[in-house]
Amino acid sequence: MPPSAPEQSIFALERPNPALWTLYIIRALLTGPGLIITLPLYYFRYRTLRYRFDEEGIHMRVGVLFRREVNLTYARVQDIHLHSGLIQRWLGFADIQIQTASGSTGAELVIEGFKEFEEIRDFLYARMRGARSEKPAHEDASGNQLGEGENTELVSLLLNIRDELRHTRELLEQRPPPPESRQGEV
């Protein structure tokens, strides 16, 4: 199925808005004497920051000397937060913080520098829910549908064990009782 128009606009996003460079300059100026160090770091971050949204997930790449690449599938996304400071709101964008079940306290991926942050958030929520609903449904031996979730395989295994035990008990109940042993014989 071809992507819809809103999806196409999200898939087309790759580079952050130039307003992100303005934010970086303001942040560097606020560091005072640290401007000498932070401004070049922010410059290289801005110039190398790339995103790619596709059918599989989100891909981010940043850095010159120390390159960081993050690839997240939509199924791994647990939660999405929007964070917007005073200067970011003034410039018209927000950070999209994406959390996974990796156990880290912070966001696994931060998408920054897009004025379309609400559309990206809605797109990610739709994809996140779609990735969860595309999982195949499982049935137990009696034909009951199992619920979706991370423990579906475990539940399926336990239900199969339950059904096997029930079948074994029924077979044992149908079996004639064993003959009584003779007590007087040695």
Tens digit of pLDDT for each residue in 28-42?
999 999 999 999 999
For residue 1, the model assigns a pLDDT of: 58
Co-location of 95 and 169 in the same domain? no
Are the C-beta atoms of 115 and 9 separated by less than 8 Å?
Answer: no
- φ, ψ for residue 114, nearest 5 deg: -115, 130
Residue 23 lies in a domain: yes
Residue 36 lies in a domain: yes
Give the count of beta carbons closer than 10 Å to the beta carbon of residue 14.
10
Q: Which tens digit of pLDDT belongs to each residue from 40-65? A: 999 999 999 999 999 989 999 999 88
Co-location of 27 and 107 in the same domain? yes
- Which range, 84-98, 120-134, 172-186, is most confident? 84-98
For residue 168, the model assigns a pLDDT of: 86
CATH code where residue 72 lies: 2.30.29
Residue 120 in tokens: 């990206």
Work out the pLDDT band at 129, boundaries 50, 70, 90. confident
Residue 27 lies in a domain: yes
Q: How many distinct structural domains can be found in the chain?
A: 2
For residue 170, the model assigns a pLDDT of: 85
Range of the domain at 113: 5-133
pTM: 0.65
Q: Round to whole Å and give the CA distance between 172 and 179.
A: 15
